[in-house]
Structure 1
Amino acid sequence: MTEITPAQPHPAVLELAKAKAALAAGLTIAQGARLQGVTDEELTADATAFAAELNAGTPTAPATLVGGSQGPDVGNATGVAAGASLYRDRYGIVDGERPARTSRSPLTENTYTMNGRW
């Protein structure tokens, strides 16, 4: 087991210092684990240099993956009320009541007869 010298901080303290320096420079905690140095000044300098290499100082907006006003059927309307109105229009809901069903489930209709020898 290695002994901790006064010049070398405790591993938990060093890990916390790396995390603080990384977050201050705009890096993630995982990226901060790669920082080199023992003192706060060394870690901050390394984090700043690492962030400059990764261009982490100017984060880009994340790409929208789902939701939002996308697609031709949405139009310019936004918000919950616009979505509810579109739903009512699509499914024919008037005054909160759905239209009567026009067809039944094919699984519930008995369209055959048994021609067996009973």
Structure 2
Amino acid sequence: MHPRPGYLLTGRMRLERRIAQTGREPLRRQEREPLWRELLGEQLREIRLARGETLRGVAGKARVSPQYLSELERGGKEASSEILAAIGAALDTTLLDLTTGVASRLTETMAPARSTASNVIRLAA
């Protein structure tokens, strides 16, 4: 399917083009390994909300825009270690605590997949 020049591709057209190019459908979010930035964003938001802080308040303390912090919390942006340290300080936590927290989340998320894979290996033996 080739749209005429000057026409925008719809989401469905892009999906069909990708399937035609790769021969398979892309993995849905719940079917793939979570991204670091997504888990970090969840953790930042949970910490902020548990402290009763607003997005604007934490962003101001960390000297980032509320829009940027929101993007981080939604997992849409990758942040530098300097930015993460500043946001961590604004939330009274450390870069180490954020990192180990995300690593723990990743381990918890991936544990069911690992046990399923090891069961398949045991069945094959």
TM range (shorter): under 0.3
Larger Rg: 1
TM-score by length of 1: 0.21
Greater helix fraction, Structure 1 or Structure 2? 2
Name the structure, 1 or 2, with higher relative contact order (CA <8 Å, separation 6+): 2
